[in-house]
Each structure stands twice: as C-alpha cells, then as structure tokens.
Structure 1
Amino acid sequence: MLTDNHGRTINYLRLAVTDRCNLRCFYCMPEHGLDWLERKELMSYEEMLRTCTLLVSMGVQKIRITGGEPFVRRDMLRFLTALSRLDGLDELSITTNGVLTAPLVPKLKQIGIKSVNLSLDTLDSNRFFAITRRNEFAKVMHTLDELLEHDIDVKINAVVMDGQNTQDIIPLVQLTRELPVSVRFIEEMPFNGDDHTYKGLEWNHLRILHEIREAFPLLRKIQDPAYSTSANYHVLGHKGNVGVIAAYSRTFCGTCNRLRITPQGELKNCLYDDGVLNIKDKLRAGLNNEQIKQLLLDAVNKRARDGWEAERARTLTRGIHESMAAIGG
C-alpha cells in the first residue's frame, strides 16, 4: 500500500478531467472573467490513463472523476471505459452536476459505475437558477431519477451557504424519507475564483447538524465508512441517510487517504495546498514510468499534516484565488 509521511494509507485519487462547466455556481466560480484552459494545457486522455495506471499499480484502489463538469469533455465515456478496465482498480465513480448526465446513465451502468455524486444545492428551481446562473434544474432532477432507476448509488452534495439555501436543508433531508440516497451537506469553502470575498464560515458542520436535529429528533449517528469525509446519520424510518462534511473546518484530515490531480496535471496532496508536482510536464518531458513513480512517492512523502498546515504553507507565496472548477471539485 502507498503511505504518506504521517503513516496514512493513500488509496483514492480524485481526477479532474476539465475545468469547464455548463453551470456557473457563484460559490465555485465568478459569473464572468474566468478563462478556460486551452486544450494543450489539459492532460490528454492518454496522459491521464498512464498516470492512473501507475497510481493503481502503487496502491490506489478508487478513482473519482470530477471537473469542472466531466461530461462537457468529449469522448468521456470512452475514457471511463478504459479506466474501468484497469487491473487493481476496485471502484470508479463520478461527480457530476447532472445537466448532461441523464442520457448517459445506461452506459455508465454498463461500464460498471456503481456510485455517482450529484451536485444539488436546492430543490427550488428559482434558487437553483440564482445559485447556478443557469436554468437547468429539470435536467438535474431527471438525472437523479435515471440514476435511481438504474440502481446506481447516489450521494447528493449540497453546499450550505448563509443567506442562499439554508432553507433547503430540511427539504433535502426529507428526500431521504422515500429515496435511498445519501444527502451530504458541505461547509462552504473559499474557492470561488476571486469573484467575491470569502468572509468566513457562518454555517459550520455543528450548526448544520443542529438544524437537522431540531427538525428530525429521530436522527441517529451511524457507522462512518473507512476514510469517510462525512459524519453520517440516519433518520429512523427513512430509506436514505444524511452526511455532514466539515470541508472548511477540516476535522477529517487525520484519516485522509486521497490525492488530487487538476486538469492541468498538478498533483495536490491537499485541496488547500498549492500543488506539489506537475505530472503532465514530467510526462511530456519524456520521463519513464519508474521515474514518474519515484516522483509520486517523493510527493506523497511530503504531505502536510492537515488542511490548515497546507493552507499556511501556501499563503507564504499567495493566497487562495482558484476556482474550485480549476482544482477539481
């Protein structure tokens, strides 16, 4: 198994395949002025497949494809099919906003995708438009229906934002009454592409949980899966579950098992770091597989203890200015 300098097992890769997105959520990117990467700046499918093959050979067992929105990149299904065939890869999953996903669900099932994270911050179409700046609510809900129809495990990710969608917390929990979904509430983070100033966290994981408990007194703590970033709960009598992710408070760093690769090929040991190795540049420089693997090992052995340490190290050079789409959600 691949382990870091703090003795943590590293077996999970989040691979962002594009920075482009067909929504414009204000907490993720500015409405205007964000320049998309040129194609040559992105990792090619061949480069991503080679990198994933090496990481799987080193102990990575799970890969999650993210963006931007993965399905705005052409030939994504072909790439997913190739990934699904990697020897040693136990789980391939996707995070999507659902706008383009519904027609693809049967093929995703055929490929072997068992789990999809669906970004959905509200069940109100007007608030959806206000948050995403796009009128695509119906398509996202159609994707949810299709995923459930095809027995694909669904986690609904909702970012909780003061003054924007806190009134959606209870309706989203109510979804779990009849649907076998996990609704996960995520603390807002400062990755907004510098369009607005991040003024700190009004709704942390404790406040979110309190809000849920007040409305659902039958909420009970359940066992968290290994390496879980969410604290997980179940309302007695409901079919689904509820999770709360302390993404800004960073309470789960001690068991972090993941690496991130951005669309530009930058390896990140932590969401909050500056990036520790540009894999794309090394591949294009002609390094062989053993040299790449050694660089990956060296990078993993220089991980920050937690997200706070990673953020402190980066602010020595520059603060957080990226869009989440450029990092990989």
Structure 2
Amino acid sequence: MSDTRPQLFDNHGRPIQYLRLAVTDRCNLRCFYCMPEEGIAYLPKKQLLTYEEMLRISSVLAELGVRKVRITGGEPFVRHDLTAFLRELSGINGISEIAITTNGVLTGAYLADLKAIGVRTVNLSLDTLDRERFRAITRRDEFLKVQKCLYDLLDAGFEVKINTVVMEGRNTEDILPLARLTQQYPVSVRFIEEMPFNGEGSHYPVLNWTYPRILQELKEAFPGLQKVVDPANSTAYHYQVPGFAGHLGIIAAFTRTFCGTCNRIRLTAQGVLKTCLYDDGVLNVRDLLRSGISDQALRQEFVHAFRHRPKDGFEAERNRHSLITESMTTIGG
C-alpha cells in the first residue's frame, strides 16, 4: 500500500485522512440515546449506497489522502456480504487501515474473516456490564452475546476499544466497573459525552456528565490516574492507572474540545458527505455518482467541500438548515 499520494488539507490546515463510512442505516438494537423506541423509517435499499459505489468513493478519497476507513452503521454486520466488501476495500491503493465500530451482537461469527482481511482495531459499543441495564438502554436482551464478543475479540488479539456513552440516571454507576476492565485487559475504555443525535434532540436541559465530571469520577476512584500522550488527531483524552494493562479515555463529543485537530469526514449510508458530525450534510455523493459524474469531477467536488469546512462543531451546528433531530444510526457516528 502506497503512502506517496498527495495529502489534502482543509481550509483550517487540518489533513483529511480518515473516512467514517456507514454501510447501513439499520440496527438490531434500539439504544434510547441513538434512536426513538419505535425505531426509524429505514430507507429503501435503492436509496442506500451500493458496495460498488462505496468502493469508488473510497478510491477517489484515497487519491486525495484518506488513509484510514472506519466502517460504521447502524450496525455494520446486519448488511449482507459485509466481509466480501471489506476484502475489496482493503485492496484499494492508499488505504492502510480498516477499522470497525460494532455493537457486538453479530460480530463474533466474523472474527477469523476480519483477521484475514487485515482488520486490527474493533470499537465495541457497550454502555454497561449489567444485563438488566443493558436491556433497559438497548431495549434488547443481547448482553451475553456482546460480553462473549468482547472476550473473544481480546482472545483473538484485536485492539479493542470500548465506547461507552455516559448518561445521567442510566449508567453512571457503570463508569467504574467498566474502567476496572483496564486493570486486567489491554483494552481502551472510552467514556463519551451524550450527544443529541437520538432522533429526538437533547434529553437534558443541561448536560451534567461532561468531560470534567467524568474525569473527576475517575480520579476519585483511581487517585494515581495519569494523563498519557494522545495519538495525533485523537478525539479522546487518554489516561492510565499505573500498573493497569489498558487505558481510559474521555471523548468530549458534546462540548467539542477536540475539533482543532479533527482529520475525519463522514459518509452516511445514503451517500451524504458530512465534513463535521454536527453539520446536516454538505454534498450528496450518491446523486452525483448516479448522474454519471467522472472521478476527476468528483475529486473536485470533494476538494471544494473540504475547503469550506467549518472550524468546529459549533460553527457547523450554527450553519445547519434545521435543528438536530436525526438519529445517530442514520449518520454513522
């Protein structure tokens, strides 16, 4: 895989290196912070990107400097033939890393395939280690499958990151049990501020469980907690308890303090480009493809979008044409 292709920067000097690609808007869980209880109105298949369209887009973006692709959803593994698509994606010149974010319900059956394809990092969405709270949060009784998936991933040697959305009155008592996983296991547990992308808007008049509050909770339980160096362009602030096998992280997704180094873009399952999680879409790539656009013209459309990127999530939200009411499952996280 080549690293000699040119690197594109946005209008704020940030490189565009990382694509979050949603392969479906469907999910087999109904997490209350992600979508309404009744679910969402899933789009007809013809309105979603085909795998062929995703491969073409990924190839064009690789020519512009994208090196990492994270597969998201919905839940990626509810889409048929996902591993066949991943094999083709891994062959695109310039793509050096493929990662997956999953809820773990179906993932366990595909671990050998993922290893063979070259996937090394899996982010597991897990908000509690308590079966009843899991059922209450996800509206499904699938905790035991997810728990088994976690340990199978670790046993198979994957780099595992647990993503936990911190929700007042729902799972704050799970912060410390999840953090203690890092004592024995080489896992990164990342606590995420809740965002309003649930199909309903914000659940709270004021968000109390922000980065400082989560950090305070961890420091009180682990007085020796130390800040460690954050990887380049990281959205998480990383910490470690001395002697523990894993790491802790906090993602300030609502207060948006990491925007200055953001190198990622998002493509929804419907083919809408988002240059910021908080914008409402800046380019309908699906329609451009189906109108017969050439790769060269498509590259120019991407370049134009990247050079008009908002400085941060607050500017992106101000520029929206409507209030935030979409579900996280429709925008790929």
Q: TM-score, normalised by structure 1?
A: 0.98
**Alpha-carbon distance in structure 2 between the residues aligned to 1:198 and 1:43:** 34
Match for residue 159 of structure 1 among 141, 161, 165? 165
Asked if residue 2 in structure 1 is aligned to residue 8 in structure 2, the reply is: yes
Q: Which amino acid aligns with 2:184?
A: E
**Alpha-carbon distance in structure 1 between the residues aligned to 2:194 and 2:232:** 24
**Alpha-carbon distance in structure 2 between the residues aligned to 1:33 and 1:9:** 36
| Partner SS, residue 93 of structure 1 | strand
Deviation at 1:18, TM superposition (A): 0.6
Deviation at 1:195, TM superposition (A): 7.3
State the match for 1:201 in structure 2: 207
CA contact (8 A) 1:190 1:198 kept: no
| Partner SS, residue 242 of structure 1 | strand
Asked if residue 189 in structure 1 is aligned to residue 195 in structure 2, the reply is: yes
Runs of 4+ in 1 over 4 A off after TM superposition: 195-198
Q: What root-mean-square deviation, in Å, do the aligned CA atoms of Structure 1 and Structure 2 show?
A: 0.9
Gaps of 5+ in 1: none
Report the identity percentage.
59
Deviation at 1:199, TM superposition (A): 2.8
Match for residue 282 of structure 1 among 283, 288, 292? 288
Deviation at 1:201, TM superposition (A): 1.1
CA contact (8 A) 2:196 2:202 kept: no
CA contact (8 A) 1:182 1:243 kept: yes
Q: Which amino acid aligns with 2:265?
A: L
CA contact (8 A) 2:201 2:325 kept: no
Deviation at 1:73, TM superposition (A): 0.4
Asked if residue 323 in structure 1 is aligned to residue 301 in structure 2, the reply is: no
| Partner SS, residue 2 of structure 1 | coil
State the match for 1:255 in structure 2: 261
Match for residue 48 of structure 1 among 51, 54, 66? 54
State the match for 1:236 in structure 2: 242
Q: TM-score, normalised by structure 2?
A: 0.97
Asked if residue 120 in structure 1 is aligned to residue 126 in structure 2, the reply is: yes
Matches within 5 A, 1:265-280: 265-280=271-286
State the match for 2:305 in structure 1: 299
CA contact (8 A) 2:310 2:316 kept: yes
User: Which deviations, in whole Å up to 9, do the C-alpha atoms of 1:167-214 show, x marking residues without a partner?
Assistant: 000000100000100000000000011277453311000000000000
**Alpha-carbon distance in structure 1 between the residues aligned to 2:176 and 2:117:** 35
Asked if residue 22 in structure 1 is aligned to residue 5 in structure 2, the reply is: no
**Alpha-carbon distance in structure 1 between the residues aligned to 2:205 and 2:47:** 32
| Partner SS, residue 269 of structure 2 | coil
User: Which deviations, in whole Å up to 9, do the C-alpha atoms of 1:2-33 show, x marking residues without a partner?
Assistant: 10011111100000011100000000000115
State the match for 1:32 in structure 2: 38
Gaps of 5+ in 2: 1-6
The number of aligned residues is 327
